[in-house]
Amino acid sequence: MLGIETSCDETGVALLRWQPEAPGEGLLAHTLYSQIKLHADYGGVVPELASRDHVRKLLPLVRETLAEAGLTPADLGGVAYTAGPGLAGALLVGASAARAMAWALGVPAIGVHHMEGHLLAPLLEADPPEPPFVALLVSGGHSMLVEVAGIGQYRILGDTLDDAAGEAFDKTAKLMGLPYPGGPALAALAGQGRPGAFRFSRPMTDRPGLDFSFSGLKTQVLLAWQASDQSEQTRADIALAFEEAIVDTLVIKCRRALEASGAHRLVIAGGVGANHRLRAELAAAGDKDGFRTYFPRLAFCTDNGAMIALAGAIRLAHGQHQDATVQVFPRWDLESLPPAS
Protein backbone atom coordinates (compact mmCIF):
# COMPACT_ATOMS: atom_id res chain seq x y z
CA MET A 1 0.00 0.00 0.00
CA LEU A 2 1.31 3.41 -1.00
CA GLY A 3 0.21 6.21 1.33
CA ILE A 4 0.25 9.88 0.28
CA GLU A 5 -0.31 12.85 2.62
CA THR A 6 -0.62 16.42 1.23
CA SER A 7 -3.33 18.04 3.35
CA CYS A 8 -1.35 21.11 4.43
CA ASP A 9 2.36 21.96 4.51
CA GLU A 10 4.02 18.55 4.68
CA THR A 11 4.44 16.04 1.87
CA GLY A 12 4.44 12.52 3.27
CA VAL A 13 4.85 9.21 1.47
CA ALA A 14 4.99 5.69 2.94
CA LEU A 15 4.87 2.04 1.92
CA LEU A 16 3.09 -0.50 4.11
CA ARG A 17 2.64 -4.24 3.69
CA TRP A 18 -0.67 -5.04 5.38
CA GLN A 19 -0.29 -7.34 8.40
CA PRO A 20 -3.52 -7.32 10.44
CA GLU A 21 -1.98 -8.78 13.60
CA ALA A 22 0.98 -6.34 13.68
CA PRO A 23 0.42 -3.38 11.34
CA GLY A 24 3.56 -1.55 12.44
CA GLU A 25 5.80 -4.44 11.41
CA GLY A 26 4.60 -4.02 7.83
CA LEU A 27 5.92 -0.46 7.50
CA LEU A 28 8.57 -0.74 4.79
CA ALA A 29 9.61 2.88 4.29
CA HIS A 30 8.41 6.43 4.89
CA THR A 31 9.67 9.85 3.84
CA LEU A 32 8.56 13.36 4.73
CA TYR A 33 9.27 16.79 3.33
CA SER A 34 8.35 19.82 5.46
CA GLN A 35 7.62 23.26 4.01
CA ILE A 36 8.54 25.13 7.21
CA LYS A 37 11.29 27.18 5.55
CA LEU A 38 8.99 28.08 2.66
CA HIS A 39 6.31 29.59 4.91
CA ALA A 40 8.54 31.01 7.67
CA ASP A 41 8.77 34.48 6.08
CA TYR A 42 4.96 34.73 6.13
CA GLY A 43 4.45 33.52 9.69
CA GLY A 44 1.97 30.87 8.55
CA VAL A 45 0.98 28.55 5.73
CA VAL A 46 0.26 30.20 2.35
CA PRO A 47 -2.13 27.74 0.60
CA GLU A 48 -1.06 28.49 -2.98
CA LEU A 49 2.63 28.11 -2.15
CA ALA A 50 1.88 24.89 -0.28
CA SER A 51 0.07 23.41 -3.29
CA ARG A 52 2.85 24.31 -5.71
CA ASP A 53 5.49 22.81 -3.45
CA HIS A 54 3.55 19.54 -3.19
CA VAL A 55 3.57 19.42 -7.01
CA ARG A 56 7.36 19.76 -7.01
CA LYS A 57 8.09 17.30 -4.21
CA LEU A 58 5.49 14.52 -4.35
CA LEU A 59 6.70 12.34 -7.24
CA PRO A 60 10.40 12.56 -6.26
CA LEU A 61 9.38 11.44 -2.75
CA VAL A 62 7.39 8.52 -4.19
CA ARG A 63 10.45 7.41 -6.16
CA GLU A 64 12.69 7.83 -3.11
CA THR A 65 10.34 5.80 -0.90
CA LEU A 66 10.03 2.99 -3.43
CA ALA A 67 13.84 2.86 -3.74
CA GLU A 68 14.26 2.79 0.03
CA ALA A 69 11.91 -0.20 0.25
CA GLY A 70 13.52 -1.92 -2.75
CA LEU A 71 10.23 -1.94 -4.66
CA THR A 72 8.92 -0.77 -8.01
CA PRO A 73 5.48 0.65 -8.92
CA ALA A 74 4.53 -2.79 -10.23
CA ASP A 75 4.70 -4.09 -6.63
CA LEU A 76 1.90 -1.80 -5.45
CA GLY A 77 -1.46 -3.34 -4.59
CA GLY A 78 -3.26 -0.10 -3.77
CA VAL A 79 -2.87 3.63 -3.25
CA ALA A 80 -4.24 5.62 -0.31
CA TYR A 81 -4.27 9.40 -0.15
CA THR A 82 -5.59 12.12 2.13
CA ALA A 83 -8.91 13.30 0.68
CA GLY A 84 -9.69 15.74 3.51
CA PRO A 85 -10.02 17.70 5.65
CA GLY A 86 -7.34 20.18 4.60
CA LEU A 87 -6.40 22.84 2.08
CA ALA A 88 -8.31 22.20 -1.15
CA GLY A 89 -5.40 22.85 -3.50
CA ALA A 90 -2.96 20.78 -1.47
CA LEU A 91 -5.44 17.90 -1.24
CA LEU A 92 -5.98 17.95 -4.99
CA VAL A 93 -2.26 17.48 -5.66
CA GLY A 94 -2.15 14.24 -3.67
CA ALA A 95 -5.54 13.03 -4.91
CA SER A 96 -4.70 13.63 -8.58
CA ALA A 97 -1.33 11.88 -8.34
CA ALA A 98 -2.76 8.95 -6.38
CA ARG A 99 -5.70 8.46 -8.74
CA ALA A 100 -3.43 8.65 -11.80
CA MET A 101 -1.00 6.07 -10.39
CA ALA A 102 -3.79 3.71 -9.35
CA TRP A 103 -5.46 3.97 -12.77
CA ALA A 104 -2.16 3.39 -14.63
CA LEU A 105 -1.27 0.39 -12.47
CA GLY A 106 -4.76 -1.10 -12.42
CA VAL A 107 -4.98 -1.14 -8.62
CA PRO A 108 -7.63 0.26 -6.27
CA ALA A 109 -7.31 3.69 -4.67
CA ILE A 110 -8.99 5.07 -1.58
CA GLY A 111 -9.34 8.56 -0.11
CA VAL A 112 -8.56 8.65 3.60
CA HIS A 113 -9.92 11.00 6.26
CA HIS A 114 -6.94 12.90 7.65
CA MET A 115 -8.17 12.74 11.24
CA GLU A 116 -8.86 9.01 11.00
CA GLY A 117 -5.24 8.65 9.91
CA HIS A 118 -4.09 10.44 13.06
CA LEU A 119 -6.50 8.43 15.19
CA LEU A 120 -5.07 5.15 13.88
CA ALA A 121 -1.39 6.19 14.02
CA PRO A 122 -0.80 4.47 17.41
CA LEU A 123 -1.66 1.15 15.70
CA LEU A 124 1.75 1.39 14.04
CA GLU A 125 3.45 0.88 17.42
CA ALA A 126 4.54 -2.40 18.98
CA ASP A 127 1.71 -2.44 21.54
CA PRO A 128 -1.30 -0.93 19.76
CA PRO A 129 -4.59 -0.09 21.49
CA GLU A 130 -7.72 -2.08 20.82
CA PRO A 131 -11.21 -0.52 20.66
CA PRO A 132 -13.12 0.62 22.52
CA PHE A 133 -11.12 3.69 23.49
CA VAL A 134 -11.33 7.47 23.64
CA ALA A 135 -9.14 9.50 21.29
CA LEU A 136 -7.93 13.07 21.79
CA LEU A 137 -7.14 14.45 18.33
CA VAL A 138 -5.11 17.65 18.50
CA SER A 139 -3.88 18.44 15.02
CA GLY A 140 -3.77 21.88 13.38
CA GLY A 141 -7.22 23.42 13.55
CA HIS A 142 -8.71 20.38 15.28
CA SER A 143 -9.14 19.63 18.97
CA MET A 144 -11.68 16.87 19.48
CA LEU A 145 -12.52 14.00 21.76
CA VAL A 146 -13.82 10.92 19.97
CA GLU A 147 -15.37 7.75 21.36
CA VAL A 148 -14.09 4.86 19.23
CA ALA A 149 -16.18 1.69 19.31
CA GLY A 150 -14.34 0.27 16.29
CA ILE A 151 -12.59 1.48 13.16
CA GLY A 152 -15.07 3.74 11.39
CA GLN A 153 -17.40 3.72 14.41
CA TYR A 154 -16.83 7.19 15.83
CA ARG A 155 -18.86 9.47 18.09
CA ILE A 156 -17.56 12.98 18.70
CA LEU A 157 -17.81 13.78 22.41
CA GLY A 158 -16.28 17.25 22.24
CA ASP A 159 -14.98 19.59 19.56
CA THR A 160 -13.31 22.98 19.27
CA LEU A 161 -15.60 26.01 19.23
CA ASP A 162 -12.98 28.47 17.97
CA ASP A 163 -9.18 28.21 18.20
CA ALA A 164 -7.90 24.66 18.56
CA ALA A 165 -4.98 23.84 20.86
CA GLY A 166 -2.43 23.78 18.05
CA GLU A 167 -3.72 27.07 16.64
CA ALA A 168 -3.55 28.64 20.11
CA PHE A 169 0.08 27.55 20.47
CA ASP A 170 1.05 29.02 17.08
CA LYS A 171 -0.89 32.28 17.45
CA THR A 172 0.31 32.89 21.00
CA ALA A 173 3.90 32.31 19.95
CA LYS A 174 3.50 34.75 17.08
CA LEU A 175 2.09 37.53 19.24
CA MET A 176 5.09 37.17 21.57
CA GLY A 177 7.53 37.38 18.66
CA LEU A 178 8.62 33.73 18.51
CA PRO A 179 9.70 32.26 15.16
CA TYR A 180 7.49 30.08 12.94
CA PRO A 181 6.40 27.37 13.59
CA GLY A 182 5.44 28.86 16.92
CA GLY A 183 4.11 25.84 18.81
CA PRO A 184 7.41 23.95 19.24
CA ALA A 185 9.26 27.23 19.91
CA LEU A 186 6.83 28.18 22.66
CA ALA A 187 6.98 24.73 24.25
CA ALA A 188 10.79 24.87 24.27
CA LEU A 189 10.75 28.35 25.82
CA ALA A 190 8.32 27.18 28.53
CA GLY A 191 11.12 25.01 29.92
CA GLN A 192 12.88 28.20 31.03
CA GLY A 193 9.84 29.69 32.76
CA ARG A 194 9.36 30.17 36.50
CA PRO A 195 6.36 28.24 37.90
CA GLY A 196 3.71 30.52 39.38
CA ALA A 197 4.96 33.76 37.82
CA PHE A 198 1.76 33.92 35.75
CA ARG A 199 -1.47 31.95 35.77
CA PHE A 200 -4.14 31.78 33.10
CA SER A 201 -7.62 30.26 33.16
CA ARG A 202 -8.41 26.69 32.13
CA PRO A 203 -11.11 27.43 29.51
CA MET A 204 -14.52 25.78 29.86
CA THR A 205 -13.46 23.50 32.71
CA ASP A 206 -15.73 25.33 35.18
CA ARG A 207 -18.85 23.89 33.55
CA PRO A 208 -20.05 20.51 32.26
CA GLY A 209 -19.20 19.47 28.72
CA LEU A 210 -16.28 18.31 26.61
CA ASP A 211 -15.94 21.09 24.02
CA PHE A 212 -12.83 23.26 23.74
CA SER A 213 -12.34 27.02 23.37
CA PHE A 214 -8.88 28.58 23.44
CA SER A 215 -9.44 32.00 21.83
CA GLY A 216 -10.04 33.66 25.22
CA LEU A 217 -6.84 32.15 26.60
CA LYS A 218 -4.94 33.64 23.67
CA THR A 219 -6.39 37.07 24.56
CA GLN A 220 -5.34 36.66 28.20
CA VAL A 221 -1.78 36.01 27.07
CA LEU A 222 -1.83 39.05 24.77
CA LEU A 223 -2.98 41.36 27.56
CA ALA A 224 -0.43 39.93 30.01
CA TRP A 225 2.37 40.32 27.47
CA GLN A 226 1.41 43.90 26.59
CA ALA A 227 1.29 44.87 30.28
CA SER A 228 4.64 43.24 31.12
CA ASP A 229 8.23 44.43 30.81
CA GLN A 230 8.53 42.08 27.78
CA SER A 231 11.88 40.75 28.97
CA GLU A 232 13.17 37.35 27.92
CA GLN A 233 12.43 35.91 31.36
CA THR A 234 8.88 37.25 31.25
CA ARG A 235 8.43 35.75 27.80
CA ALA A 236 9.48 32.36 29.20
CA ASP A 237 7.24 32.77 32.27
CA ILE A 238 4.21 33.52 30.12
CA ALA A 239 5.03 30.62 27.81
CA LEU A 240 5.11 28.25 30.78
CA ALA A 241 1.83 29.52 32.21
CA PHE A 242 0.19 29.25 28.79
CA GLU A 243 1.44 25.71 28.22
CA GLU A 244 0.26 24.69 31.70
CA ALA A 245 -3.21 26.10 30.95
CA ILE A 246 -3.49 24.24 27.64
CA VAL A 247 -2.22 20.95 29.08
CA ASP A 248 -4.37 21.13 32.21
CA THR A 249 -7.45 21.80 30.09
CA LEU A 250 -6.76 18.87 27.79
CA VAL A 251 -6.10 16.52 30.71
CA ILE A 252 -9.29 17.57 32.54
CA LYS A 253 -11.39 17.02 29.42
CA CYS A 254 -9.76 13.65 28.73
CA ARG A 255 -10.53 12.43 32.23
CA ARG A 256 -14.13 13.56 31.87
CA ALA A 257 -14.47 11.82 28.50
CA LEU A 258 -13.11 8.55 29.86
CA GLU A 259 -15.47 8.70 32.81
CA ALA A 260 -18.45 9.48 30.56
CA SER A 261 -17.67 6.68 28.09
CA GLY A 262 -16.53 4.07 30.59
CA ALA A 263 -13.38 3.43 28.54
CA HIS A 264 -10.00 2.65 30.10
CA ARG A 265 -7.80 3.37 27.08
CA LEU A 266 -6.90 6.82 25.78
CA VAL A 267 -5.27 7.55 22.41
CA ILE A 268 -3.49 10.85 21.84
CA ALA A 269 -2.74 11.84 18.24
CA GLY A 270 -1.80 14.93 16.27
CA GLY A 271 1.00 17.45 16.51
CA VAL A 272 0.22 18.64 20.06
CA GLY A 273 0.51 14.99 21.11
CA ALA A 274 4.29 15.45 20.85
CA ASN A 275 4.23 17.93 23.75
CA HIS A 276 6.32 16.50 26.60
CA ARG A 277 4.30 18.15 29.37
CA LEU A 278 1.05 16.73 27.98
CA ARG A 279 2.54 13.25 27.82
CA ALA A 280 3.81 13.45 31.40
CA GLU A 281 0.56 14.84 32.83
CA LEU A 282 -1.59 12.23 31.09
CA ALA A 283 0.69 9.45 32.31
CA ALA A 284 0.30 10.74 35.87
CA ALA A 285 -3.48 11.05 35.48
CA GLY A 286 -3.62 7.50 34.12
CA ASP A 287 -1.74 6.17 37.13
CA LYS A 288 -4.24 7.90 39.42
CA ASP A 289 -7.46 7.06 37.53
CA GLY A 290 -6.53 3.63 36.20
CA PHE A 291 -6.48 4.27 32.45
CA ARG A 292 -3.72 3.70 29.92
CA THR A 293 -2.57 6.27 27.38
CA TYR A 294 -1.28 5.40 23.91
CA PHE A 295 0.84 7.76 21.81
CA PRO A 296 2.31 7.33 18.34
CA ARG A 297 6.07 7.83 18.07
CA LEU A 298 7.04 11.50 17.75
CA ALA A 299 7.63 11.21 13.99
CA PHE A 300 4.02 10.09 13.52
CA CYS A 301 2.40 12.77 15.71
CA THR A 302 2.68 15.29 12.89
CA ASP A 303 1.32 14.68 9.38
CA ASN A 304 2.85 11.67 7.64
CA GLY A 305 2.22 9.14 4.90
CA ALA A 306 2.43 6.09 7.18
CA MET A 307 -0.85 6.80 8.94
CA ILE A 308 -2.57 7.31 5.58
CA ALA A 309 -1.16 4.04 4.22
CA LEU A 310 -2.40 2.23 7.34
CA ALA A 311 -5.91 3.71 7.25
CA GLY A 312 -6.16 2.97 3.54
CA ALA A 313 -4.91 -0.60 3.96
CA ILE A 314 -7.49 -1.31 6.66
CA ARG A 315 -10.35 -0.04 4.53
CA LEU A 316 -9.16 -1.79 1.36
CA ALA A 317 -8.90 -5.02 3.38
CA HIS A 318 -12.62 -4.58 4.11
CA GLY A 319 -13.41 -4.13 0.43
CA GLN A 320 -13.82 -0.35 0.52
CA HIS A 321 -12.55 1.82 -2.32
CA GLN A 322 -13.90 4.48 -4.67
CA ASP A 323 -14.14 4.97 -8.43
CA ALA A 324 -11.61 6.97 -10.44
CA THR A 325 -13.21 10.36 -9.72
CA VAL A 326 -10.74 12.87 -8.27
CA GLN A 327 -12.63 14.30 -5.31
CA VAL A 328 -11.47 16.01 -2.11
CA PHE A 329 -13.29 17.26 0.99
CA PRO A 330 -11.76 20.36 2.63
CA ARG A 331 -14.42 19.86 5.33
CA TRP A 332 -15.35 16.29 6.20
CA ASP A 333 -17.37 15.00 9.15
CA LEU A 334 -15.50 12.18 10.90
CA GLU A 335 -18.77 10.62 12.08
CA SER A 336 -19.91 10.18 8.45
CA LEU A 337 -17.31 7.48 7.74
CA PRO A 338 -18.55 3.91 7.20
CA PRO A 339 -17.45 1.21 9.65
CA ALA A 340 -14.48 -0.97 8.73
CA SER A 341 -14.35 -3.39 11.63
Annotated binding residue 138: yes
Residue 12 marked as a ligand binder:
no
170 is in an annotated binding site: yes
The reply to whether 213 sits in an annotated binding site is no
Q: How many CB atoms lie within 10 A of CB 324?
A: 9
The answer to whether the CB of 103 falls within 8 A of the CB of 72 is no
Verify cis geometry, omega within 30 degrees of 0, for the bond prior to 184. Answer: no
Residue 166 annotated as lining a ligand binding site? no
Closest CA to 163 of 175, 152, 153: 175
Q: Is 111 annotated as a binding residue?
A: no
275 a known binding residue? yes
Query: Is 142 annotated for ligand binding?
Result: no
The answer on whether 137 is annotated among ligand-binding residues is yes
Does the annotation place 323 within a ligand binding site?
no
| 146 is annotated as contributing to ligand binding | no
According to DSSP, the β-strands at 265-269 and 292-294 are parallel
* Annotated binding-site positions for Fe cation: 114, 118, 303
* Annotated binding-site positions: 114, 118, 137-141, 170, 183, 275, 303
* Annotated binding-site positions for substrate: 137-141, 170, 183, 275
